Each structure stands twice: as C-alpha cells, then as structure tokens.
Structure 1
Amino acid sequence: MRRLFVIHESPWSERARWALDHHGLDYNTVGHLPLLGEWQLRRLLGRQKERITVPVLAADGSAYGDSWEIALYADRTGAREKLVPSSLEGEVRHWNQVADGGMGGVRPRVLARMLENPKSLDAQAPPFVPTWARALLRPTARLVVRHLQRKYQTRSDGIGTNGMQLRSALDTLREGLKGNKRYLLGQFTYADIAMATLLQGVLPVSDLYLRLPPAIRDVWTEESVARDYADLIAWRDDLYERHRKAS
C-alpha cells in the first residue's frame, strides 16, 4: 500500500492528496511529526544532508519528495485526465511556482502565530495524546515550531514583505482568471490545485473538505486579505465543490 507522509493542514500536503484522489489511487496517510519524524523520511528518500519536507510518497519501491513529483507520479499511474498534460507542462509548472512564491509569504506568519497561540500548539500533538495532557507538551511543540522557523529561515513581518509576497501571487491569480474563467489553463489541471491550496493561507477551505481544529484555522486565516480577495475565495470554493470529494 502506498504511504503518504503529510502535515494535515499543509497546503503542499493537500496538493498531494488531491492529485492522488483525482486519479482514485489508494494510499495510507501517515501524519508527519516535524523534527521527530525526519529520520524516517531521510531513510526513505536516501537524503542525509538535504532539507527534508513533506509531503513524501512511498510507492512501488520508490519515494517521491514533494507534491509536484507526487502529482507527476499520479498522472503516470492513474487513468483519469492528466493534471499535468505534456502540452501544458510549462504553464502548469509556472503556476506551481507562483503558488510556492505566495506560500513564502504565508509560512512565516503561520509559524509566528502558532508560538503566540497555546491552543494551536496543543493541536500539534499526535492524535493518541489525550486532551488533558496536551498542555504539558507545549514546550516540545514550541521547540518544533522554532525548528521549522530555522529550517525555512522565516521571519514574520506582519503585513510587510510577507504580505506583499502573498498579495502579489493572488493578484497574478486574479489576472489569470480574468474573464470569469473557471480554470487557469482552459481545463482542470494541477495549476488550479496549486493556486486553490495557496488560498488555504488566506481563509482555509470548509471542514467539509479539510477538517481543522479552530485554533489551527485561526492561525491560517488572514481576514483582511480574505476580504480583499473574496472573488478568489469563491473561485476556490467552487473548484473544491466540482473537483474534490468531501473528506
């Protein structure tokens, strides 16, 4: 059975799940614990010194180390319409890079807010930890968040450079959808998935598709940006309704 290592709320993990689900490929989901679980991913990927991130897919004797590689694997293995058609690969890759650039403006804010929100730290505990014991693990959760800040060299500057980085990506999306387009490239592709999941860092999608604890939803939400880009939120929600099964 395929194993998909994820951080549940991560937009990159959602991209990978969506690609596999689009093709109806079965897999077991494994929740990744940052810092603690990296040794296992290094063993799977054969990377001892490179930075390790999730999602990671272990399938058919191989390991795939990011959501783009996983989407290409899903296209090769599945039988449904390709998410990265060969004729559009360059354009899809471009939109994937735009989404990654926008996420560069989201991650610093999310990590900084987690350090300020004890309940969001509690939500990082593994599922088997009882609710009453989660507060006892907050020092460990803070250690993990600070590790992620160092790993990605993030610095939160509120609505400064980080906010501009996100808004620039959203402006690019708005321009790409001009003319009331349903899809960025005339058909449903991984470009739409990448940009739709970027909006997770503005206003997370409904719990119908991705259930989040309230504290996690709070740290991922940026209300002022959500108001300014309500049209893109509506586009994302429509895309989910038509192309994503309820969880």
Structure 2
Amino acid sequence: MFTIGEFSKLGRISPRMLRYYDAMGLLRPTRIGENGYRYYEAAQLETLAEIETLKDYGFALSEIGELLTLSGQELAVRLHRRRLAAYDEIYTLRKKLRQMEDAMMKMEKCNLLKDQYHVIVMETPAQRVYGIRRKINISETGDLFEELYKKVDELGLTRCGAAQQVYLGEEFSYESMDIEAQVEVSGEHPDVKVIPARLCVATTHIGPFEGLHNAYDAICSWLAEHPEYKVIGPSVERYLKDVDMVKDEEELETGILFPVQKLQ
C-alpha cells in the first residue's frame, strides 16, 4: 500500500486532486487509517491513468465516473462522439480566430494585411477555359458552378485545372453580380476560349469565403503603394482548393488576381 503522498508521486498528481477525486467518487482510497491517512494500492494507478486520459480527451469529471464502468465497445462509442465534438470545437475556435483577426485588421489594418497576405506580381500562363456568364445573386454562385460542371460533362470536355470566377460588371453588387464562372478544360468545342498569358497582381486567401474581402483589401493597399502598376481587366477568384477538395472550410484556398500593366 502507498500513502497519499507516495501515490501522488507515482501517479504524478497532487494530493489535493486525489482528495477531490475521492470526494467525487472517482478514485477512493483502498483504506483510511485510524489517523485519517489515505492508503492506495498499486492497481489503482491504472484507474488513475484512465481518469487522466479521459480528462485530457475533454470529458468532464462528472462524466468520467460512468465512463469507467463501460465495456470497451461502449466506451469506443462515447469516444467517437467526443471526437466529433472536438472537431466542432476546433471549427468554432478557428472561426473565433478569424473573427479576432478581422477585428485586429480593422484596428491595425495595413500592417496586419501585409503580415497575412503576400502580394506578388506574376505572369499567369495561358488558359483554355469553358465558361458561363450570368447576372446572379451571390447566394446563387454554387448553383452557377454546378450548371457549369454539368455543361462541361455534356459537351464531352474534361476538367483539367482550377475553376474560377471573373467579375465583369462595372460595379460590384451582391444582388446582381455580372460574373463568368470558368473552368480549365481539355477537349475541343467552339465555346472553349483561350485566355492569353498575362501579368497579374495576386495573393492567396486561406479560409472561408467570408474573409475574401481581406485579400482584396491587401491587393488594393499594395496597388496604392505601387502606382507604377495599372489594373487593366476584371478581377479573378481562382479556387485552388474548393469545397469539393477539403473537409473544413478553414482549408479552402482562393487565389485573387488582378490583371495589370506596368506603366513606363
């Protein structure tokens, strides 16, 4: 038998926490002496380890007493539920981080945008694309790309690169966006067009689409600091990792490109 002090050293846990576990009925001493001293057996170290593991998994102490009584199969079910809950917690934390970053950007916008977004000037290669142009509400974007992919299949074309959205209107409007949904394709069709190689100012946004405005702000700030470049065409959102490629929207990757000309 071990005294509470000896047992706490072996289990790497404080005597105060052992007394708390005793009060909760999670881990009672094997014997309490006439002097009130608590004594534990070596076998109880395994129970203590199980308690600490379940606590690390995020289970509340009020749940752990029941969990210790479950069979292996029953415990596996509970662990699966806890795993799903942990993913939800991660998603919520990531969302809060994004919100904090947005708030911080409003306070220190210029410096934070430079830290988060690396704006570059790049020569984009030529693309062979098939596209569908529509005036839509922003909520209809997903439907437009579904229509695009269906049409590509019907025409016997093969997707061979990223999809992208080109903003063609003179003004931006959530209610009536003039856009062309495009996707790189292989195969021949009269409506397949070639976008020539061109110079672009670009950056990449990682995360939900709701934060794309920060990437646009970063490029606008960069252009304001580099008046030698002039925008000569509509902006492009290129979906490098779209919703079909990731499990979590935090993993989305979207390229923002503005065709430019360097002034002499």
Q: Same fold (TM over 0.5)?
A: no
Which structure has the higher relative contact order (CA within 8 Å, separation 6+)?
1
Normalising by structure 1, report the TM-score.
0.22
Higher alpha-carbon Rg: 2
- Normalising by structure 2, what TM-score? 0.21
Please state which structure has a larger fraction of its residues in helix: 1
Bigger proportion of residues as strand: 2
